[in-house]
Amino acid sequence: MKVSLRVENLRIYYRTLRGYVKAVDGVSFEMGDEEVLGVAGESGCGKSTLGNSLILLKPPMTYMEGRVFLDGEEVPIWDNEKMRRFRYRRISIIPQYAMNALNPTKKLKVLMDDLLREHGSDFKSHTAEILRRLKMVNLPESVLNMYPIELSGGMKQRMVMVISTLMNPSLLIADEITSALDVSTQKAVIEMLLEFKSRGFVRKIFFITHDISVLYQIASSILVMYAGKLVEKASTDEILEKPFHPYTEMLISSLPKIGIKYGERKLKGIPGQPPPLLKPPEGCRFKDRCPYRHSKCDEEPPIVEISDDHVVSCWKYA
């Protein structure tokens, strides 16, 4: 696998009056070229923070340590000014509430022109390509002269996808983009995203969602986060067939599937809740909810390489 995104020991905290919230606490991983990496975890596990930190550190998000390399070049995520060179051109994002991300007072054409000018280009020089892509996502040319509110939710979603991939970024961060959609729209959006990738509009996708069954459809590997830490990462098929970490295992077995009825087979959730990230517990952060807990778990679990490209952070395998 040719590594094209490498994140080393990244720590991103939120500064609050009561101290630091350790949202991303020492996460390292690699992502291959032309890969779709799925990031899963419960809400508040730091997956969105991880994705957002790769493009823009908005206060109170604070860079603590760690390095990021994209296509062999270091990405200075701690330097807002230097990041301008990467933002949008090489790393782009479809934010969580993308539908509301468009400025309502500007026509889409003007909006795109502003954005392109911000990054040293303009609408004119991209017109042909924009029209081609609009056609691909089944949007008429006339939307360019409309205001964002004139578009339906689905149209806005497609528009945002076109806008955020216009500069053919190397890395696209998709933050919970399908979570609010119903199943048929969800499928259509994902199909479109994969089509964009196969046409080379984006090289790799960092796909954040809490829904593992969606990741099964789109991701080549899955990274599971829990309370700011990476707990397991492996290829999609492997992680779904034989999850190693107790958390991953419980998360997957809690998913309802067609064909399973309450009366026939009762599924179980994970008891308890994630720990507060302001003062996370010592050692393994999952220990309070883990059925396999033992005394060793009070120490920081090591990251174990089970096989090539399958890592897990648990004392069970150390």
Partner 1 sequence: MEAISTRRELLFFALRNKKMRVGISIFTFFVVLAIVGPHLTGYDPLDYVGPGYHPPCREFWLGTTTFGQDVFTQLVYGLRASFFVGLLGGGIATIIGLIVGFFAGYRGGMIDEILMMMTNVMLVIPTLALLIIIAAYLPYRGILIESVIIGLTAWPWTARAVRAQTLSLKTREFVDLARISGMNSIRIIAEEIAPNMMSYIFMVFILQFGGAILSAVGLDFIGLGPTRGISIGIMMQQAVLWNAIQLGMWWWAIPPGLAITLIVGSLYFMNTGLDEVFNPKLREM
Partner 2 sequence: MMVLENVTKIYRIGTFGGKRLKAVDDVSFEIDEGEIVSLIGESGSGKTTIGKMILRLIRPTSGRILFNGKDIGQFKKNELKDYYRKVQGVFQDPFSSYNPLYKVDRIFDIAREEFFPDIGRNEWKNRIEEKLRSVGLNPLEVLGKFPHQLSGGQLQRLLIARALVMNVRFLVADEIISMLDASTRIDVLNLLAELKDSGLSILFITHDLSLGYYISDKTVILYRGSIMEYGDTEKIFNSPAHPYTISLMESIPRIDERWRMRSAVIQGKEKSIRNGRMCKFYHRCFKGDESCVEPPLIEVEKDHFVRCSKIGT
- Scored b (16 or more CB within 10 A) or e, 242-280 reads ebbbbbbbbbbeeeeeeeeeeeeeeeeebeeebbebeeb
Site for partner 2 in 240-279 (CB under 8 A): 240, 250-252, 254-263, 266-271, 273
Instruction: Answer yes or no whether residue 124 interacts with partner 2 by CB under 8 A.
Output: no
Q: What residue 211 binds from partner 2, partner 1, none (CB within 5 to 8 A, per partner kind)?
A: partner 2
Instruction: Answer yes or no whether residue 279 interacts with partner 1 by CB under 8 A.
Output: no
Supply the DSSP symbol for 87. B
Site for partner 2 in 203-222 (CB under 8 A): 210-214, 216-217
Instruction: Answer yes or no whether residue 183 interacts with partner 2 by CB under 8 A.
Output: yes
Q: What residue 210 binds from partner 1, partner 2, none (CB within 5 to 8 A, per partner kind)?
A: partner 2
Binding footprint of partner 2, residue count (CB under 8 A): 46
C-alpha closest to that of 190 among 176, 200, 203: 176
Site for partner 2 in 24-43 (CB under 8 A): 42-43
Instruction: Answer yes or no whether residue 104 interacts with partner 1 by CB under 8 A.
Output: no
Minimum gap (Å) between residue 136 Cβ and partner 2: 5
Question: With respect to partner 2, which residue has the nearer C-beta, 64 or 137?
Answer: 137
CA atoms within 13 A on the CB side of 74: 7
Long-range contacts of 42-47 (CB under 8 A, 24+ apart): 42/210, 42/226, 42/274, 43/210, 44/274, 44/277, 45/225, 45/226, 45/227, 45/228, 45/274, 46/12, 46/225, 46/227, 46/228, 46/229, 46/277, 47/208, 47/210, 47/225
Instruction: Answer yes or no whether residue 60 interacts with partner 1 by CB under 8 A.
Output: yes
- Out of 59, 120, 263, 271, the only residue in the binding site for partner 1 (CB under 8 A) is 59
Q: Beta strand 36-40 with 221-226: parallel, antiparallel or unpaired? A: parallel
Instruction: Answer yes or no whether residue 192 interacts with partner 2 by CB under 8 A.
Output: yes
Q: Residue 128 carries which side chain, given as an amino acid letter?
A: A
Minimum gap (Å) between residue 61 Cβ and partner 1: 10
- Out of 188, 303, 304, 306, the only residue in the binding site for partner 2 (CB under 8 A) is 188
Question: With respect to partner 2, which residue has the nearer C-beta, 148 or 243?
Answer: 243
Q: Which residues contact 124 (CB under 8 A, 6 or more apart)?
A: none
Site for partner 1 in 11-30 (CB under 8 A): 15, 17
Q: Which residues contact 2 (CB under 8 A, 6 or more apart)?
A: 32, 33
**Contacts with partner 2, residue ranges (CB under 8 A):** 42-43, 136-138, 153, 182-188, 190-192, 194-195, 210-214, 216-217, 240, 250-252, 254-263, 266-271, 273
**Contacts with partner 1, residue ranges (CB under 8 A):** 15, 17, 59-60
